[in-house]
Amino acid sequence: MNFTNFGRYILLLKSVFRKPEKLKIYLKEIAKQMDYVGVGSLGLIAIISTFIGAVMTLQIAFQLVSDFIPKTIIGSVNRDSSILELSPTISAIVLAGKIGSAISSEIGSMRVTEQIDALEIMGINAPGYLILPKIISGITMVPMLVIISMFLSITGGYIGGSISGAVTPAEYIQGITTDFNPYTITVALVKAFVFGFIITSVPAYEGFYVRGGALEVSQASTRAVVISCISILVCDYLVTQLLL
């Protein structure tokens, strides 16, 4: 059954990447989706990232019981954890809930109200018109959100450390600027790209093949979020193993 679904998912993706009927209309749709995925999620990502950074600083400081370890380590651990894991993965899981469920229910509702059939009858490639702009917005905007998330998470750590006194601003700054490996940014952006693809394509697949009514649309939406989250975690492990 899962192999059948995977096969249908691949076939759907094949239809998605067919040549667009009219590029101008697709570009307009891509811009709309980028605004929804990127700008629409900015506030949520900003709040989550800042607080996670702040909490991370406090927890690392709490675990540093030895006087032999310099406090600057708090900054560097926070930096690497934020860049490599927290920003890409937590952002992706949050976005899977916010964007994934919206994509699945939007496309699912269009399916049960015959709007997708209407597109196909008109001679329009429905998977391309409905899903391609969402995937492109996902693979471009999620990496951008992750970059913002990294910055805010590290800044959040600075603020949290300063307010609580867990680490001085000078120690924190020294920590985040010592032994920085730019390759970690590459790894994070590869993850963000993969997650952006999963967050948009998996819910689109679930919505596209809905059969039934409102109940099935909501079930598909739930399934889309669950499968997206699991896929994100599996791909997180695979990308980490491959690139580090």
Partner 1 sequence: MIEIKDIYKSFSGNDVLQGISGKFEEGVTNLIIGGSGSGKTTLLKCMVGLHQPGSGSVLYDGRDFTPMTYEQRIEVRKEIGMLFQGSALFDSMTVEENIMFPLNMFTDQSRKEKLERVDFCLERVNLAGKNKLFPAELSGGMKKRVGIARAISMNPKYLFCDEPNSGLDPKTSIVIDELIQEITEEYKTTTIVVTHDMNSVMGIGDYILFLHEGKKFWEGSNKEIAHTDIKELNDFVFASRFMKAAKDKF
Can you give the binding site for partner 1, defined by CB under 8 A?
18, 21-22, 25, 109, 113-115, 117-118, 120-124
Which candidate, 211, 93, 225, places its Cα nearest to that of 146? 93
Least distance in angstroms from the C-beta of 145 to partner 1? 24
| Region for residue 180 given its phi and psi (left: phi exceeds 0; alpha: psi -120 to 50; beta: otherwise) | beta
Q: How far is the CB of 26 from partner 1 (least distance, A)?
A: 10
C-alpha gyration radius of the chain:
21
Token pair of 49 as six digits: 């990232």
Whichever of 123 and 182 has its CB closer to partner 1, that residue is: 123
161 vs 203, beta carbon nearer partner 1: 203
Smaller CB separation from partner 1, 35 or 114: 114
Pick between residue 52 and residue 130 the one whose CB is nearest to partner 1. 130
CB of 214 to partner 1, least distance (A): 13
Instruction: Copy the structure tokens of residue 124.
Output: 């329009």
Rounded Cα gap, residues 205 and 209, in angstroms: 6
Helices (H), the chain: 2-16, 23-34, 40-63, 72-81, 91-95, 101-112, 115-121, 126-164, 169-177, 183-208, 214-243
CA distances to 5, 43, 227 from 144, in Å: 31, 13, 23
CB atoms within 10 A of CB 151: 17
Q: Given the complex with partner 1, which of 109 and 140 has the nearer CB atom?
A: 109
Shortest distance, position 21 Cβ to partner 1, whole Å: 5
The answer to whether residues 200 and 137 touch, using CB atoms and an 8 Å cutoff, is yes
- Least distance (Å) from partner 1 to the CB of residue 121? 5
The single-letter code of the amino acid at 120 is E
Local structure of residue 89 (DSSP, 8 states): I
Q: Between 35 and 117, whose beta carbon lies closer to partner 1?
A: 117
| Cα distances (Å, whole numbers) of residue 212 to 109, 131, 179, 209, 224 | 10, 21, 56, 10, 16
Q: Shortest gap between Cβ of 106 and partner 1 (angstroms)?
A: 9
Query: What is the C-alpha separation between 63 and 57, in angstroms, rounded?
Result: 10
- Among residues 118 and 170, whose Cβ is nearest to partner 1? 118
